[in-house]
Amino acid sequence: MVCKNCIEKPVINLINNNVKLCKSCYIKYFESKVKKTITEYKLIEKNDHIVVACSGGKDSTTLLYLLKKITKNRKDIKITALAIDEGIHDYRDKSLEFLKNFCKENEIELKIFSYKEEFGKALDEILKTYKGIPCSICGVMRRYLLNKKSKELGATKLATGHNMDDEAQSIVMNLFKSNMKLSARMGPTTGIKIHEKFIPRIKPLYLLTEKEVTSYAFIKGFMDKLNECPHMQDSFRNYVRDTVNEFESKYPGTKHSIVNSFIELLPALKSYYGSLPATLQLCERCSEPSSKKVCQTCQYIDKVIKK
């Protein structure tokens, strides 16, 4: 058996298209799909300063590499890598070391901010007293810092490495939790309304599956093993991920169907929730966007970190 486009040995099967490609042709396919997503959804605009949320993992490293490559001849576009050090021993320290070397080799500016410096405690220390699900508190604090630090860096866009699997999981999670307002904020570019305190988020890997991203990262040498957060198994998302993967295994193309159907519904969701009276306000403590007088991060700082 040979690659569809040449005579080389295929390395990956694109399930939804039933196509087998070799390394060279696969790289062309993958990069072309990212460029198409960027163009179709207008993810990059003139004079953008794109801050890329990086962890040192396969998704964000692939995204950082491709955004740098795609915009290399654009003098009006600036790319900056932004990493958040949550303080997870033997996990984040290793991935950040890889990221530092990667950014140095590719001449990309890297900014690192930590929970320890910003909140007073690293996540490992926080979890000694916090009895809830680790992802609950970590996710809130991480999103808070990504938005806040992107603003401080002068970003016009915050790019994240979310892929099709991530989006399919989020769609299902929001359905299970009856949270369609949150779903309305999703898509290749996030948000319902423009707000000066929110940096728009873009997802150039939106239409590529996790398997496809992993294959690309492996071929390009961005990873030598899968390194997942040790707290991942405790999250609700992890259970949803297993469920969606089981459906995909039995019914190939399930993830594509979930996301494509959602994209059709998204304009209606954004229109409906965008027409409702705004509930967004600024936290009276830190002045960051919040749906309450005191944002969730400041509440965690009072109840858990300063405890």
Buried b (16+ CB within 10 A) or exposed e, 106-123: eebebbebbbbebbebbb
Task: Indicate whether 180 pLDDT > 70.
Answer: yes
Buried b (16+ CB within 10 A) or exposed e, 11-25: bbebbeeebbbbbeb
Task: Name the residue ranges covered by the structural domains of the chain.
Answer: 41-276
Mean pLDDT of 235-256: 92
Both structure tokens of 114 = 């930590």
* pTM of this prediction exceeds 0.85: yes
CATH architecture of 41-276: 3-Layer(aba) Sandwich (3.40)
Both structure tokens of 207 = 């239409």
Distance of CA 76 to the CA centre of its chain: 24
pLDDT band (50, 70, 90) for residue 17: low
- Give the whole-number percent of the chain exceeding pLDDT 70: 93
